[in-house]
């Protein structure tokens, strides 16, 4: 395990088992992993930032090297403040690549010392996203195996 600090940023609205798979992989590679929820005024989220942070904290309790935080503004500024040298992102399919490449190159331009590392989640989760989970939950679909039980409960409560 390397001693480096990595940041895993995202919207996490809500956290899925795909995110958790990546977090687990991240803990095996980095000494400290900061899961960072973006405060984004543009989007209409299902859960508030506080709720998303709380859910992430609950479901990552078993990982002592994981910390959950929130940030606004530029990711590179947050990374600098937190002393991180790596941004961790997941790539599920080719369709993710273009957006991720653009973000990684922009972040590199802004902060050349910050490296973006991509990991591939287990193929079971290659179709999974927070958007799909929200849609399924809204339409009454089964969420078993897609999100942790605690998150499933929160989704059911929110969409009752």
Closer of 27 and 107 to ligand PNS (Cβ): 107
Q: What is the x/- site pattern for ligand PNS, positions 30-69, by CB under 6 A?
A: --------x-------------------------------
Please give the Cα distance from 40 to 36 (Å, whole number).
Answer: 12
One-character DSSP codes across 69-97: EEE-S-HHHHHHHHT--EEEEE--SHHHH
The CA R_g of the chain, rounded to the nearest whole Å, is 15
Q: Which of 1, 101, 106, 159 binds ligand PNS (CB under 6 A)?
A: 106
Q: What is the x/- site pattern for ligand PNS, positions 110-149, by CB under 6 A?
A: ----------------------------------------
Query: CB of residue 38 vs ligand PNS: minimum separation in angstroms?
Result: 4
Contacts of 136 by beta carbon, 8 Å cutoff, 6+ apart? 142, 143, 146
When asked if residue 75 is in the footprint of ligand PNS (CB under 6 A), the reply is yes
Q: With beta carbons less than 8 A apart as the criterion, state whether 118 and 91 touch.
A: yes
Is 92 catalytic? The answer is: yes
Contacts of 62 by beta carbon, 8 Å cutoff, 6+ apart? none
Kindly name the residue from 2, 28, 43, 131 that is annotated as catalytic: 43
Number of residues that bind ligand PNS (CB under 6 A): 9
Please give the Cα distance from 46 to 49 (Å, whole number).
Answer: 10
Interface ranges with ligand PNS (CB under 6 A): 9-11, 38, 74-75, 103, 106-107
């Amino acid at each position: 395990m390397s001693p480096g600090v990595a940041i895993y940023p995202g919207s996490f609205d809500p956290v899925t088992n795909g995110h958790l798979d990546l977090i687990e992989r991240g803990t095996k590679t980095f000494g400290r992993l900061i899961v960072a929820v973006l405060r984004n005024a543009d989007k209409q989220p299902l859960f508030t930032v506080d709720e998303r942070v709380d859910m992430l904290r609950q479901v990552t309790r078993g990982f002592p090297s994981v910390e959950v935080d929130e940030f606004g503004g530029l990711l590179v500024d947050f990374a600098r403040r937190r002393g991180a040298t790596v941004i961790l992102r997941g790539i599920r399919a080719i369709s993710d690549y273009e957006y991720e490449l653009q973000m990684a190159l922009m972040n590199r331009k802004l902060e050349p010392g910050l490296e973006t590392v991509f990991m591939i989640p287990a193929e079971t989760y290659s179709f999974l996203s927070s958007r799909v989970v929200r849609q399924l939950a809204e339409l009454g679909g089964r969420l078993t195996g897609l999100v942790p039980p605690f998150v499933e409960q929160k989704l059911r409560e929110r969409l009752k």
